[in-house]
């Protein structure tokens, strides 16, 4: 037996380690070096090595709260991408505009509520109606997009519905532009006061223009407080957005796992033809999927507009593409993956720039850099399984 043979055999016997695989792939290697560098920079900013750290815990806590709120909006949108991908193996690139439609229709609802005085007299009911109208509008738009742009192409090559998706996205943006104009519209100020006995603790921050304290303002309020030694500026809306999104995600999970039509949806996602053989109306399941995605995106749209306070036909683009990133990050087609991916992306893009000592304008670079990293190192996403050749 020659030495060369034994070497070969030894190599064959030992599976290549992750490190040796990394070194053999130049793209992965360079990316890994960049990642390591970023990590070291972050470490230097966080740890007080020479004097004080650049990055303070209060800043982190503040950004974490905002990141979770922002991330839960991404998660709500990302669920729409992932649900549709799970059933049809296609990316619904018009989903950002479906989100925008909800925010925009919500604007009309909340403005009408303001004009009729309902917003002032019963803000909870007005907000509920706004949310409902936003959700329903998005669902209607989602169903129309499916009916017009995707269903006629159900059996076409996979590239074709991708192109009509982009077309539907542009069309929706233009329709809203022609109908309602390019100007940015402002959501009215809303005061939803709770916990009136918190007033003494709020001090002067709880007072309104007339010097009266009505409690904590859940929508428009912002309060400087100190919690366990951290100086925080708390916006209750961030907690409200997070809680509502979480509730919707739990509702979705219950629907998918605890109802008969949720079971049918999972069956269609696995094997459309076999589900049809069991008596499942596949078209109806597909429409249901678009409705669910639309409802979640519409809720996300209204919540997003509530804390950003502005809507325009263009607001769907960036959150849409970010949420798509989140869905890929979590593993597209995977429901918990989309939830996690959304929250993760929201937190990372909020926290990372200041942790790295960069301008917060670079947050989009970080978000999409993250997408590139995931595609290089773990293309199936964090929660994703490697697709079998049959589906992939």
The residues binding other proteins (CB under 8 A) are 260, 263-264, 266-267, 270-271, 273-282
Contact predicate 119/318, CB 8 Å = no
CB atoms within 10 A of CB 194: 14
The two structure tokens encoding residue 129? 């109606």
Q: In terms of CB distance, is 226 or 388 closer to other proteins? A: 388
Q: In terms of CB distance, is 186 or 284 closer to other proteins? A: 284
3-state DSSP helix/strand/coil percent for the chain, to nearest 5? 70, 5, 25
Query: Exposure of 5 by Cβ count < 10 A (0-12 exposed, 13-18 middle, 19+ buried)?
Result: exposed
Per-position b or e across 158-178, b if 16+ CB within 10 A of its CB: eeebeebbeebbebbbeebee
Question: Minimum Å distance from CB 129 to other proteins?
Answer: 36
Q: In terms of CB distance, is 233 or 257 closer to other proteins? A: 257
Question: Minimum Å distance from CB 381 to other proteins?
Answer: 16
State the angle between helix axes of 236-258 and 282-308 in degrees (0 to 180), rounded to the nearest 10. Answer: 170
Question: Minimum Å distance from CB 160 to other proteins?
Answer: 18
Alpha-carbon distance of 84 to 97, in angstroms, equals 15
The two structure tokens encoding residue 111? 């403005």
Q: In terms of CB distance, is 185 or 266 closer to other proteins? A: 266
Question: Minimum Å distance from CB 385 to other proteins?
Answer: 9
Q: In terms of CB distance, is 185 or 263 closer to other proteins? A: 263
Question: Minimum Å distance from CB 259 to other proteins?
Answer: 12
């Amino acid at each position: 037996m020659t030495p060369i043979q034994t070497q070969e055999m030894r190599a064959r016997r030992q599976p290549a380690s992750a490190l040796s695989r990394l070194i053999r792939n130049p793209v992965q290697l360079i990316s890994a070096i960049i990642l390591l560098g970023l990590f070291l920079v972050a470490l230097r900013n966080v740890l007080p090595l020479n004097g004080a750290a650049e990055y303070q815990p209060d800043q982190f806590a503040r950004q974490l709260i905002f990141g979770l709120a922002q991330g839960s909006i991404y998660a709500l949108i990302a669920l729409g991408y992932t649900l549709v991908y799970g059933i049809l193996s296609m990316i619904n690139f018009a989903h950002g505009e479906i989100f925008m439609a909800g925010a925009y229709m919500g604007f009309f609802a909340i403005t009408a509520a303001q004009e009729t005085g309902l917003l002032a007299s019963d803000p909870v009911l007005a907000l509920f109606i706004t949310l409902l109208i936003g959700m329903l509008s998005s669902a209607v738009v989602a169903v129309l997009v499916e009916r017009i742009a995707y269903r006629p192409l159900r059996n076409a090559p996979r590239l074709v519905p991708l192109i009509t998706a982009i077309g539907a996205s542009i069309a929706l943006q233009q329709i809203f532009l022609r109908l309602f104009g390019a100007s940015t519209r402002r959501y009215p100020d809303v005061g939803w006061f709770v916990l009136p006995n918190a007033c003494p603790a709020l001090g002067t921050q709880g007072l309104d223009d007339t010097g009266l304290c009505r409690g904590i303002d859940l929508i428009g309020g912002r309060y400087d407080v100190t919690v366990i030694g951290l100086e925080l500026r708390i916006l209750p809306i961030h907690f409200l957005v997070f809680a509502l999104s979480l509730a919707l995600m739990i509702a979705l999970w219950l629907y998918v796992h605890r109802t008969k039509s949720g079971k049918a949806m999972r069956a269609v996602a696995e094997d459309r033809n076999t589900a049809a053989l069991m008596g499942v109306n596949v078209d109806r399941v597909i429409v249901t999927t678009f409705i669910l995605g639309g409802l979640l995106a519409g809720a996300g749209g209204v919540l997003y507009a509530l804390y950003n306070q502005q809507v325009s036909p263009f607001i769907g683009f960036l959150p849409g593409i970010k949420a798509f990133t989140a869905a890929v990050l979590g593993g597209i087609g995977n429901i918990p993956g989309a939830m996690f991916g959304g929250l993760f992306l929201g937190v990372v893009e909020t926290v990372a720039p200041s942790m790295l000592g960069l301008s917060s304008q670079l947050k989009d670079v970080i978000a999409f850099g993250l997408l590139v990293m995931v595609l290089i190192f773990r293309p199936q996403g964090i929660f994703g399984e490697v697709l079998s050749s049959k589906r992939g």
